[in-house]
Chain A
Amino acid sequence: MTENFEVQFIDRDERTARFLVRGVSPAFANGLRRAIIADVPTLSIDSVRIIENSSVMFDEQISLRLGLVPLTTPPNEFEEGDIVTLALDVEGPETAYSGDLRSDHELVEPADTNIPIIELKYPETADSPQRLELEADAVMGRGRDHAKNQGGVAVGYRHLQTVVVEDDADEYSDSEPEILRGVIEERAAEHAVATDGTGEPENGALVATETFDNDLSKRYPDKEVSVRDVDDAFVFHVESDGSMSVDELVTNAADSLAERATELEQAVQL
Chain B
Amino acid sequence: MELRVIDKESTELSIEIAGEDHTFMNVLKGALLELDTVQAATYDLNPEQSGGQTDPILTIKTDEAIDPLDVLGEAARNVQQKSENFRDAFQAAS
Contact = CB atoms under 8 A, between A and B. Distances in A.
A90 interface: no
B93 A7 contact: yes
Interface string B32-76: 001000000000000000000000000000000000010011001
A203 interface: no
Main secondary structure of the interface of B (DSSP, over half): helix
B81 interface: yes
A257 B1 contact: no
A7 B27 contact: no
A241 B24 CA distance: 24
Contacts of B84: 254, 258
B23 A35 contact: yes
A258 B24 CA distance: 10
Contact of B83 (A9, A34, A258): A258
B22 interface: yes
Interface in A202-251: 247, 250-251
A257 B83 contact: yes
A125 interface: no
Contacts of B34: 1, 25
Given A19-B93, A268-B3, A255 B83 contact: yes
A263 B93 contact: no
Interface string B7-39: 000000000010011111011111100100000
Given A31-B24, A264-B28, A267-B1, A254 B90 contact: yes
A257 B80 CA distance: 7
Contacts of A261: 24, 28, 76-77, 79-80, 83
B50 to A, nearest CB: 17
Nearest to B58: A264
Contacts of B3: 264, 267-268
A264 B1 contact: yes
Contact of A260 (B1, B29, B82, B89): B1
Q: Report the contact-size class of chain B (Cβ under 8 Å from the partner).
A: 35 or more
A126 interface: no
A5 interface: yes
Main secondary structure of the interface of A (DSSP, over half): helix
B76 to A, nearest CB: 4
A171 interface: no
B86 A254 contact: yes
A247 B82 contact: no
Contact of A30 (B26, B80, B83): B26
Nearest to B79: A261
Contact of A31 (B23, B78, B92): B23
Given A31-B30, A32-B86, A254-B84, 19 more contacts: A3-B82, A3-B85, A5-B85, A5-B86, A21-B89, A21-B90, A27-B26, A27-B27, A28-B82, A28-B86, A35-B23, A258-B79, A258-B87, A261-B24, A261-B28, A261-B76, A265-B80, A268-B69, A268-B72
The 7 A-B pairs with the shortest beta carbon distances in the complex, nearest first, are A27-B30, A31-B27, A258-B83, A261-B80, A261-B79, A7-B93, A265-B76
Interface of B: 1-3, 17, 20-24, 26-31, 34, 69, 72-73, 76-87, 89-94
12 contacts: A24-B86, A28-B27, A30-B26, A31-B30, A251-B87, A254-B90, A255-B83, A258-B80, A258-B84, A261-B80, A264-B1, A267-B3
